[in-house]
Homo-oligomer: A and B are copies of this chain.
């Protein structure tokens, strides 16, 4: 997923990228904070793949809570991109989903930093990262 995100960022913006790999998703919050505080990153993408076991779901919740906390401590966006192992019916779909979601979130990062009006225009139109968009709610 990291490579897909980096590829998409490089193809669509002129950015300097730091990559930091950690053993598990619960190591992500502090890693993100270190990238912000020690490597002066302006925004971070936190990519991970939680397992399908109930224990793994709790780990993902703990990691997410920590990632939100890290953002609040630094006033800096950290875009969480988790693909849950049980989100796809087979390995091929899972690999496709990981690639697609990483790339679409990379676009969100670019919009958030460089083109905020694009995000505003899309708000409420049911954009989903990975699968088909849900579409806007009809009035």
Contact = CB atoms under 8 A, between A and B. Distances in A.
Interface of A: 1-2, 19-23, 26-27, 29-31, 33-34, 37-38, 49, 51, 55, 57-59, 61-73, 75-80, 84, 91-92, 94-95, 98-99, 105, 108, 111-112, 116, 119-120, 122-124, 127, 129, 134, 137-139
For this chain, the copies found in one complex come to 5
A78 B2 CA distance: 23
A53 to B, nearest CB: 10
Contacts of A67: 26
Q: 6 closest Cβ contacts across the A-B interface?
A: A30-B71, A66-B68, A23-B108, A21-B120, A21-B119, A95-B139
Given A2-B124, A23-B119, A29-B68, 7 more contacts: A21-B123, A23-B129, A30-B68, A30-B71, A57-B58, A65-B65, A66-B72
